[in-house]
Structure 1
Amino acid sequence: MSRQIFQLRVALADVTPEVWRRVLVPGGYTLDRVHRVFQCAMGWQDCHLHSFDINGTQYGEPDPDGELTFRDELETRLDAVATKGARFLYTYDFGDWWEHEVAVEDVFGADPEERYPLCAGGAGACPPEDVGGPFGYRQFLAAWVDPGHPEHESMRSWLGRAFEPTDFDVDRASTLVRRLS
């Protein structure tokens, strides 16, 4: 029997322009590996906490202090909690609260000529880390694109690099995702 591949569409909620990725992930991946695929495909830097909300159950890294009650993502395989047509949430950075809506678009047998995981499509640049969630990102973009905005220069100085909200390089994202295999 061939490995099952899950085609997932991961879309960042409450941002414009739309930011989304389509990733192909082995169903045998545990949720911690799915998290790493999402981080690489989206463009996040994996420097904050995260969780999955699947069918009303929270998965993530167990909290040694017991303040957050997550089921251990290391012990949960994607194919054990999701099927074709399923939808779930992935949240990254509990301060900024980046919510990603995930749809299982398809489940199919692996192509023996293909390496998985991979990023098969997407659009939009990942917002900068620590920009303040969707609300902060809207403020950031308003200042970023308007040279007359009072915070234009401070935002450009704060980020310290070029940024184009509509940019997305599927080949680069796929290269980063494939390094996980």
Structure 2
Amino acid sequence: MQSDLAWVRRSGRLIRMVSELHRMGYQHARIMPYEYPLAYRIVIAPRSEFSLMNGAYFNEGPSRNFARYSSADENHYFGWKDAEADNARQLADKFVARFPELIRSMCGSDWRYAGWLADLLSHLERFPGRLPIVVAESLETLPEALPFLPLKLYGPRSSEDDGEDRHFPLPPPPV
């Protein structure tokens, strides 16, 4: 079952795109999903940019070694006007072609993270309407102190979802 909210489906598609990148040999690609006051965002960066305390947290700082998607861009992923009907694999192919410098830094194996992301995706499939967040105004804990990855419900809950807060294990630290 899919979410009724288009932006939630698109954000999930982008997370699946990163899983496709892993299947293509770019397992150093990681995500940092977060809420911004006006949109849900996902940063995609190489594992070397992520915190050792929370493998899902990327402190943008002065680094330019990342790509960012905002749900406010709707289906114009990364500003692309030709991706409106793309599936996760088609988005991954475009990501590889359009971010050559970034993708080079993502080449390599990280089976622990790739497996973690596959588990996260299966959890999101089971509980539609939920998305992970690392940073949000509603979170009282700093990203590097989170004991788990919160999975926030957006929209109505599914019949399998009891409405309780969902927690997912943090990804393995980048080693």
**TM-score normalized with structure 1 length:** 0.29
- Higher Cα Rg, which structure: 1
Q: Which is richer in helix?
A: 2
